[in-house]
Structure 1
Amino acid sequence: MRFNKVIYIRYMPLTTKIYADFYMQEVTDAGIEVEYWDITAIFFKNNYNIEDSSKLVNTRIFRSYSELESALNSEPFLSKVLFVSIMSFEGRIRKLYEILTKYNCILSVFGRNMFPLPVPPKTFFGVLNRVKISTVLNYIRFKKVLKSIRKGKIKRYDIVFIGGDLGWQGIGRVGLDDIKNAEQVKVNSDDYDNYLLLKDRKNTLSDKYILFLDEYLPLHPDTVLFNIKNVKAEDYYPELNSYFDRVEKQFGLPVVIAAHPKAIRYKTEDFFSGRKVIFKQTAELTKYAQFVIAHDSTSINYPIAFGKKLHFITSKNIMNGIEEVHRNVIHFANYLGCNYQFMNNEEGINLIEELPLENYQKYKYSFQTSSDTENKLTRDIFIDFLIKE
């Protein structure tokens, strides 16, 4: 067996999605020891009420780098331990990666679940608008990371699991040169794997509906955690519901909400004027939907895989509050050959008439899978990799 232990490390508490997406149960079932190293307390003052499912696996919580070093000192066979980083490669990870390099840990990362990104505007005001204190601080931090790399204090990733030709872009601030010497293993995006599991299932639903891929935009905890500018809930939801009213009137079908997994307030409050809100069934809901409405959710992987028409929406509030989402909406629509619309546009819903198959195919192999893995599950590829010498 190549590895007898896998340690997942992340600066957020374990969630059920992370547990599933990184195959922790499957790795355990294969006879390989699994640990989750929660280093949230080292990076953030609190976890902002993020779901904590640490009971699912042996979880170790670290509150200082010295505790982390002690744990590494206590590992008897580090050469047989695979570390899976579930963090973006950027400035804040410098000291952590210096420690992992110091102990010559075998470090891996999954580069997948990426999607096409627009080129930021290069006008003076466009650049000025993106210059924030946090941006400057992150830039300074990353310069220190680069300095540590040059001095040999931080090594490159040993192993990279890549989903799609451009999946590596999801690793963080790395280029192709940064991973060229890493062992590269082709995998799929986790959404594509879910598609493989469902693609042959027969439709048992009798009701027809239109699906909205919710992103919990005004209330997402990451906007607080990473100090991201946002829209106000009191502006966003009424405008969204008004748009859904027009959609339902035009197509004669209800809009169903595929809830974001972190949208905990949806469970106790009605944000969608009584519309059906469903958790943890985005893939299934997409498979049977008539068409799909979205902003810039990574779950657009599902309608692309299942061959569903996509319709993108934005608003002036989104454009002014979270410009990046607005730019993504426009870029996604153009890239995929779909249409987009402002929610306050009183004209009819301009849904595409024909599915843009060529664009969907290009997206598939760029961001979801490869010709080698399009009929394989990543969990099987990952387990085989861990076991085979």
Structure 2
Amino acid sequence: MFKKIIFLTSRFSKYDYRRYGLKFFKAKGLDCEVIDISTLINPNKTIFKNKEKHKDIKILKPKTKNEFSKILNFYNSKDVCCFVSIHYNYKNYFFFKELKKKNIIWGNFNFNRYPLNISNYIDKIRLNLQYSFHIIDKIYRYFFLLFLKLRVLENIIPSYQIVNNIKHHKNKKIYKIQSPAFAYDDFLDFENLNKTSKEKNYIVYIDEDVPNHIDPLVHGYNTNLCEKKTFYKELNNFFDFIEKKYNLKIIIASYPRANYKSNPFNKRKIIKNKTISLVKYSKLVLIHNSTAVNYVTLYKKKAIFIKSSNYLLHYRLSIESLAKEFGKEAIDISNKFYKISDDNINQQKYSNYFKNYIKSYSNNKDLKSYETFYRHLPKVFCKIVN
């Protein structure tokens, strides 16, 4: 029977501690350990290095692949379950190969993300030409996957996956655990403590700290999502327009990892770690491409999606795709003649988004994602070990 859960990750924060339910697992008598491989994946990127410390959690940080292998040697594959939060690709192949070599049961979250629908062929060509390394990367991945298929014994797949919509996951070899998205966990926690639903007179902007966001580095872009001075100039001009149009003040729901030593939003109020509350009680939400759009869906809030021709092309296209999921067009704030034709709610679109990306099933009990995972662990072990 399982006794220990290992979390294999490249980034571990207080938010990860909470969303993965480590406190819950420890209360159930399970030993929890974190293997932080950020140094191995990005040895030259200090931005990825974790400084998080938890008194009740052992965090291991191997500096070499050999150290990683030695750590796995200490585990008994018959009572350990590994949860992996890194993507399986040719760059990370070694870690998955080692898990298989040690016969350690492992799995991951595979929640649906809205598709990046690029219907314009010109944009497709521009995207590939602007980031030529994508073409090289796709070729490399193709031959890597072909290599794995030819070497059937090394075709590595997870033992289990936590999914929010089983219909979209066809691989019968993988044990599937149907669970709501993390945002639904936050929603349940918040609603248990905050029953009132009366709106307040403000508009909330979902900050992503766009000029300093690490996503470009993660995905290999050698640039920022937008140049800092341009980003804040366009955004604040748009905020002035919105505040005048709706006669409401805008509050900034700060990005969790942002560190604002000075206020770039022209003295507008910045609030940290209160995003779900700010969305729930707002009159209107301004958003780019944040996963906080799940809160917009759960509370059925009016939303305006913001893009700019000065944003990184891939980022701009992703904002446009997200807006389409809600039946909207993103507003281009690089054009001062803002065209806000509709900030209303398309009930059917919101309902579809909820079913496709947040919670695709109904049951009598609202369990957190990690509680659902815990309930299925015995079945995972029985199915795989036996």
| Structure 1: gaps of 5 or more residues | 169-175
Deviations 1:249-272 (A, max 9, x none): 1111111111111212x2x12111
Q: 1:59: Cα distance to partner?
A: 0.3
* One-letter identity of the residue aligned with 1:60: L
In 2, are the aligned partners of 1:314 and 1:341 still within 8 Å (CA)?
Answer: yes
Bigger drift between 136-145 and 308-317 goes to 136-145
* One-letter identity of the residue aligned with 2:184: Y
Residue 126 and residue 353 in structure 1: after superposition, are their counterparts in 2 closer, same or farther (change >3 A)? closer
Corresponding position of 1:381: 372
Q: Given the alignment of the two structures, is residue 210 of structure 1 paired with residue 223 of structure 2, yes or no?
A: no
Q: Distance in 2 between matches of 1:113 and 1:352?
A: 27
Q: 1:308: Cα distance to partner?
A: 0.3
In 2, are the aligned partners of 1:294 and 1:311 still within 8 Å (CA)?
Answer: yes
Corresponding position of 2:316: 326
Report matched runs for 1:264-275 at 5 Å. 264=259, 266=260, 268-275=261-268
Q: Given the alignment of the two structures, is residue 223 of structure 1 paired with residue 223 of structure 2, yes or no?
A: no
Q: 1:254 aligns with which of 234, 238, 249?
A: 249
In 1, are the aligned partners of 2:112 and 2:163 still within 8 Å (CA)?
Answer: no
Q: Given the alignment of the two structures, is residue 26 of structure 1 paired with residue 37 of structure 2, yes or no?
A: no
Corresponding position of 1:160: 161
Report matched runs for 1:104-183 at 5 Å. 104-112=103-111, 114-119=113-118, 121-123=120-122, 125-126=125-126, 128-129=128-129, 131-133=131-133, 136-137=136-137, 139-141=139-141, 143-148=143-148, 150-151=150-151, 152-164=153-165, 176-177=169-170, 179-183=171-175
Deviations 1:191-239 (A, max 9, x none): 1221223346234888521111111111013333543232111110111
Residue 73 and residue 344 in structure 1: after superposition, are their counterparts in 2 closer, same or farther (change >3 A)? closer
Q: 1:116: Cα distance to partner?
A: 3.3
Corresponding position of 2:303: 310
Corresponding position of 2:181: 189
Q: Distance in 2 between matches of 1:4 and 1:67?
A: 23
Residue 214 and residue 139 in structure 1: after superposition, are their counterparts in 2 closer, same or farther (change >3 A)? farther
Deviations 1:318-372 (A, max 9, x none): 1xxx112211222222221234211133345626353111001111111101223
Bigger drift between 23-32 and 350-359 goes to 350-359
Corresponding position of 2:274: 281
Q: 1:35: Cα distance to partner?
A: 0.5
Q: Distance in 1 between matches of 2:199 and 2:118?
A: 43
Corresponding position of 1:41: 39
Bigger drift between 152-161 and 223-232 goes to 223-232
In 2, are the aligned partners of 1:115 and 1:298 still within 8 Å (CA)?
Answer: no
In 2, are the aligned partners of 1:91 and 1:138 still within 8 Å (CA)?
Answer: no
Residue 296 and residue 80 in structure 1: after superposition, are their counterparts in 2 closer, same or farther (change >3 A)? same
**Identical counterparts, % of pairs:** 21
Tell me the secondary structure at the aligned position of residue 51 of structure 2: coil
Q: Distance in 2 between matches of 1:299 and 1:313?
A: 14
Tell me the secondary structure at the aligned position of residue 92 of structure 1: coil
Residue 44 and residue 254 in structure 1: after superposition, are their counterparts in 2 closer, same or farther (change >3 A)? same
Corresponding position of 1:341: 331
Tell me the secondary structure at the aligned position of residue 234 of structure 2: helix
In 2, are the aligned partners of 1:295 and 1:325 still within 8 Å (CA)?
Answer: no
Q: 1:302: Cα distance to partner?
A: 0.6
TM-score, with normalisation over the residues of structure 2? 0.88
Q: Distance in 1 between matches of 2:107 and 2:374?
A: 14
Corresponding position of 1:356: 346
Q: Distance in 1 between matches of 2:115 and 2:154?
A: 32
Corresponding position of 1:52: 51
Q: Distance in 2 between matches of 1:367 and 1:206?
A: 25
Residue 137 and residue 327 in structure 1: after superposition, are their counterparts in 2 closer, same or farther (change >3 A)? closer
Bigger drift between 280-289 and 339-348 goes to 339-348
Q: Distance in 2 between matches of 1:281 and 1:153?
A: 45
Residue 206 and residue 335 in structure 1: after superposition, are their counterparts in 2 closer, same or farther (change >3 A)? closer
Q: 1:311: Cα distance to partner?
A: 0.6
Q: Distance in 1 between matches of 2:341 and 2:291?
A: 20
Tell me the secondary structure at the aligned position of residue 313 of structure 1: strand
* One-letter identity of the residue aligned with 1:62: P
Deviations 1:117-164 (A, max 9, x none): 213654473364254236524641563255235421242110000023
* One-letter identity of the residue aligned with 1:24: L
Residue 45 and residue 3 in structure 1: after superposition, are their counterparts in 2 closer, same or farther (change >3 A)? same
Tell me the secondary structure at the aligned position of residue 316 of structure 1: coil
Q: Distance in 2 between matches of 1:272 and 1:183?
A: 47
In 1, are the aligned partners of 2:252 and 2:270 still within 8 Å (CA)?
Answer: yes
* One-letter identity of the residue aligned with 1:357: Q
Tell me the secondary structure at the aligned position of residue 91 of structure 2: helix
In 2, are the aligned partners of 1:312 and 1:333 still within 8 Å (CA)?
Answer: yes
* One-letter identity of the residue aligned with 1:196: L
Give the length in aligned residue pairs: 372
In 1, are the aligned partners of 2:200 and 2:282 still within 8 Å (CA)?
Answer: no
Q: Distance in 2 between matches of 1:346 and 1:105?
A: 56
Corresponding position of 2:2: 3
Q: Distance in 2 between matches of 1:149 and 1:17?
A: 37
Runs (4+) off by over 4 Å: 204-207
In 1, are the aligned partners of 2:41 and 2:92 still within 8 Å (CA)?
Answer: no
Q: Distance in 2 between matches of 1:204 and 1:129?
A: 48
| Structure 2: gaps of 5 or more residues | none
Q: 1:16 aligns with which of 5, 14, 17?
A: 14
Residue 280 and residue 6 in structure 1: after superposition, are their counterparts in 2 closer, same or farther (change >3 A)? same
Q: 1:273: Cα distance to partner?
A: 1.1
Instruction: Compute the RMSD of aligned alpha carbons.
Output: 2.5
TM-score, with normalisation over the residues of structure 1? 0.87
* One-letter identity of the residue aligned with 1:41: T
